[in-house]
Amino acid sequence: MRRNLLLIIILLLINLLQAAPGDIPVTRNLLESEHPEGTYQDFLENLIPRETSCQEANRTHSRLRGTWLCVVEENLYNQLSDELSWWSSDLAQEEQNVVMLSWTGTSHADLKAVILDYYISDNIIGVFLLGELPVFWFEMWEDWDFDNTYNGNETWVDFPMDEYFADMDGIWSDFDNDGAYDSHEGEVAAEIAIGRLRGDNLSLAGTELEIIQNWFRRNNLYRNGVIADSDLALGYIDDDWESWQDEYHNALLQAYENVEMVYEVNSTYADDYRENRWNTDYEWIQVHVHSGPDAHYFYQNNGSNYYLVHNNQIPSYDPQALFYNLFCCSNARFTEANAMGSLYVLGNNHGLGSIGSTKTGSMLTFENFYTPLGENETLGESLRQWWNTTVDVDQEYIQGYRTWFYGIVLIGDPSLKTEYQPVSVIGDIDYNGNIEAFDGSLVLQYSVGLNPSGTPLPWSPSLLHFADCDGNGSIEAYDASLILQYFVGLIPAFPVE
C-alpha cells in the first residue's frame, strides 16, 4: 500500500512538472497600447545600412583557459583603447586569450560568418559584442497553451535574438524572405557563450562613451576584488508568481548562500522595490513583475491595481546591485531606447550585467542557470548551459519552450563571474605578494609621468587603487614614500587602511 502511494505521488509530481510551464503566468506589457515595442519594420526604417569592414586589431596568446572574441564597433574601438587594454589584461591574468576585432557594418550574416571563422580557427568559447553592432531578428507564433499546434489565433511576434550568434551549426531560415528569420532547426544547441553591450540608445544614462567607460572601470575593479561582492541575492516575486517562490528560492541557493525572498502579495509593490531594494547591498536581484521595455508594473492592494517603476528612475536612484535576472516582459529589448535591462547595467554606478528577454517571456528552470553559476562558471557559460539543458529538450512542447525562451539575452560581459578574490593589497604594485622598495619605485616613476617597467600606462583603476596608499584619490611621491616607510618598518599600516 505504501509502495502504491509512493508511486502515485511520484506520478503526480511528474505530471505537475510537465504541466508547470504552461500554467505559469506570462509576463506582460500591461500598457502596450501606450508604450508599444518597436517592430522589425520599425527597426528597418531607422537602420542605415553599412557595408561590412572588419579587421583584427589585437590578440593575446598562450593562455590555458580558452579564447574570447570581442567585436567592437569601430568608432568605440578607437575611443576605448585604455579600457579594452585593461579588460584584455584582466583576462590574461585569468589565463584566457582575447581576440579583438574592430567592426563596421550592419549585416548579421557577415557577423555570424566571422564568428564562425574564429570558432573554427581559434576554438573561441564566447563572444562579447560591444557597441551598435548587427542585430538578428526572429519571428514566430507564440504557443502559450503548450499544445504545440498553431490554430490561427496565436500571435506572431518579431524580436531581436542573440542566440543566433552562439549556435555554430544550426539551420536558420527565412521562408518568407522578409529579413526576420522564422525557422531554427537541426542542431540548435549553443556552442559558445554570447553577451552584448550597447549604450548609443541610452540617453537617460548619459553619453555612450562616458557610460561605457564607467562600466569598464567597474568591470576592472570587480575582477580584481576591489569592488567586493556581498554574496547576498534577492528574489522579488510579484503577485502572479507567488506560488512558485520556493522553486525560485531553491534555484538561487545554488549560487548564493544568502538569499532574501520577498513574495507575499502585499509585500511587493513599486515603492518598496524602488525605495528599499535598490538601496540595499544585494549582489544579485531576480525580480518577477509584469513589465515593458521601459517600466515595471507592480500589483498592489491585493492585486486590485498596479503602480509603475519607470526606466528614468534608474539613473536617479542609482541601484546598488551588480547583477539582475529580469523575469520581466521585453525588459531587455536592447533595440529600444532606454530599455531597463540596459539601464540596469549602464545607467548607474554599480551595474555589471543583466539577463532578460527581448520579448514576452523569461527564463524558467532557473536551477539550470544558477547551478553552473554557483560552480564559478562565467555568466555567458552559465547561460549557455541553461539554454542547452532547457530549450528544445522536450519536443512535445518545443514551440511553447521557444515562446518562453527565444528572446533571452545577456546584457554585459559574458566572461564575468560572480566570485573574485582580491589580486593584491595596498602597496603591492607588482602583485608578487610582498610590499617592497621596488613597489615604491614603480609608484614614484608613475607619479612623475614615467612608464614603469612591467606596468604599462595608463594604469588600470584597480592598480591605481593598490597604489593610492593615503587614499586621496591621486598617485603621488608621498604614496611611494609610504611604501618605503612600510617596507623598512617605520609604519605598521597605510593611512588608507
SS (H, E, C) 11-26: HHHHHHHHHHHHHCCC
Record the cell numbers describing residue 89, joined without a space.
589584461
- Phi-psi group of 135: left, alpha or beta (phi > 0 → left; psi -120 to 50 → alpha; rest → beta): beta
The pLDDT of residue 62 is 66
The pLDDT of residue 268 is 98
The pLDDT of residue 229 is 87
> Going from the N-terminus, what domains does the chain have, and what CATH number goes with each?
40-186 (no CATH), 208-412 (3.40.50.1460), 424-497 (1.10.1330.10)
Gap between the Cα atoms of 289 and 238, Å rounded: 5
The pLDDT of residue 10 is 37
- Ranges of residues in the chain with a pLDDT under 70 are 1-22, 62-63, 454, 456
The pLDDT of residue 36 is 87
The pLDDT of residue 305 is 95
**Greatest extent of the chain over all pairs of C-alpha atoms, in Å:** 85
Gap between the Cα atoms of 287 and 301, Å rounded: 19
The pLDDT of residue 450 is 85
How far is C-alpha 183 from the geometric centre of its chain's CA atoms?
A: 26
